[in-house]
Structure 1
């Protein structure tokens, strides 16, 4: 029997990268996966790979009402919610001087507001699953970054968002851990994803140069970490995992 048989998992940012890989990995463990992102065509294609049980939800999690509706839809269709993976995120680097303020707003909206909106909507259902489901435990995992541990010039607002979700996760953990809702944080280093595609061209080249001498992580490496977290026995809570490429120094 697969380790997550009978569970329902929601993954944000599921249309590519770490989100897509995590959805595939959770489904392989038996979870029914709800795929949440803005790009419906990609979600439909992924759902086709996962089989008929996958739930496709087109939503922008920066809109609290859409996030709330997405969670409600999962519970309506599947009857429960056991696992939430807050993966949606953007990384818009560059000097604070003369930075487009819209980039700062976008990072806060996706990396912070999106996590808060989805988690807020999901908490009652996660608490209920921990009380009544066979596993008697539930999970919320947020994908953060090494940028949530080390601040760097040119990364100030991205650092702010990732330090912020780390603090929120730890405070939330202290509130709900006695009720067997596990709160986890995964902090990847350099990983192959679409994050760099959102950078301005001149910054994209500089970021690529910084990492050109190392072998980056793959999205599946992070997905494996998530699966490890949510498949532990209920007596174990893996609250934080820092994962860097072997050659990454900071």
Structure 2
């Protein structure tokens, strides 16, 4: 029997990319997954596909920038399956541009989704995990959370923040609750589609030629979940072999 059999896992940003790949992989290995994202039709389609292959999946429309929606999402997960083993804070946006472009609305969007979204996931899930006496947060950062690059100052700042939040949470939580921070390198996803700055979009298009499939990050997530309860995988960087940064 799979180690994941019966585990209840809530995933944000699950309508495409890493979130979708993770939901499919974990459900295929026996987990009960709850998908959250803003795009209803995508969620319906992915959930239906998982069920058609014998997996156990539910979904709920979710905007991670709204604390009340995140609370509803995590509470729905617990009410549906009786517990919450893992929360994967995966939702993110990446509208890159130079600071001089002054795309303040895009800066605020990254702060709201990439930072507040993770904090809302923690706020919704931590009381439940404390009451249960077990649980795991998996927060998706980025290699942009380890080094800054041109056009990515604000994006990198948000991902540095995710690492800091993850490390602080790890040090503060009670025994039985694990915290994992995963930093993907360039990975196939729709993140680049949020770039409105044409120069930044072209740079990213070239950079993404070595992208690894989102399933690679899903496997890293699975690895972190499958470890014994006394093993906490705190930090992982997963990047293309061809990457030099």
> Could you tell me the TM-score, scaled by structure 2's length?
0.95
Find the partner of 2:154 among 157, 164, 175: 157
Greater shift, 66-75 or 80-89, is seen at 66-75
Show structure 1 runs of 5+ residues with no match. 132-136
Whether 1:28 aligns to 2:25 is no
- 1:35, CA displacement in angstroms? 0.4
Find the partner of 1:146 among 140, 143, 147: 143
Q: Which aligned segments of 4 or more residues in structure 1 are displaced greater than 4 angstroms?
A: none
Separation (CA, whole Å) in 1 of partners of 2:184 and 2:207? 16
User: What is the total number of aligned residue pairs between the two structures?
Assistant: 241
Tell me what 1:225 maps to: 220
- 1:184, CA displacement in angstroms? 0.3
Tell me what 1:186 maps to: 182
User: Structure 1 pair 45/98, CA: closer, same or farther in 2 (3 Å)?
Assistant: same
- 1:145, CA displacement in angstroms? 0.3
Separation (CA, whole Å) in 2 of partners of 1:82 and 1:211? 33
Greater shift, 52-61 or 160-169, is seen at 52-61
Tell me what 2:47 maps to: 47
Tell me what 1:134 maps to: none
Tell me what 2:233 maps to: 238
CA RMSD of aligned residues (A): 1.3
Separation (CA, whole Å) in 2 of partners of 1:141 and 1:127? 16
Find the partner of 1:205 among 202, 209, 232: 202
User: Structure 1 pair 69/211, CA: closer, same or farther in 2 (3 Å)?
Assistant: closer
Separation (CA, whole Å) in 1 of partners of 2:171 and 2:231? 15
Separation (CA, whole Å) in 1 of partners of 2:180 and 2:149? 24
- 1:98, CA displacement in angstroms? 2.4
Separation (CA, whole Å) in 2 of partners of 1:63 and 1:210? 32
Is the 1:192–1:219 Cα contact (8 Å) retained in structure 2?
yes
> Could you tell me the TM-score, scaled by structure 1's length?
0.93
Tell me what 2:130 maps to: 127
Is the 1:83–1:126 Cα contact (8 Å) retained in structure 2?
no
- Which string of whole-angstrom CA distances, capped at 9 and with x for unpartnered residues, describes residues 117-175 of structure 1? 0111011222333x3xxxxx421101110000001222111011000010010010011
- Which string of whole-angstrom CA distances, capped at 9 and with x for unpartnered residues, describes residues 52-91 of structure 1? 7311100101011111111111111111111010000001
Q: Secondary structure at the match of 1:56?
A: strand
Separation (CA, whole Å) in 2 of partners of 1:72 and 1:138? 14
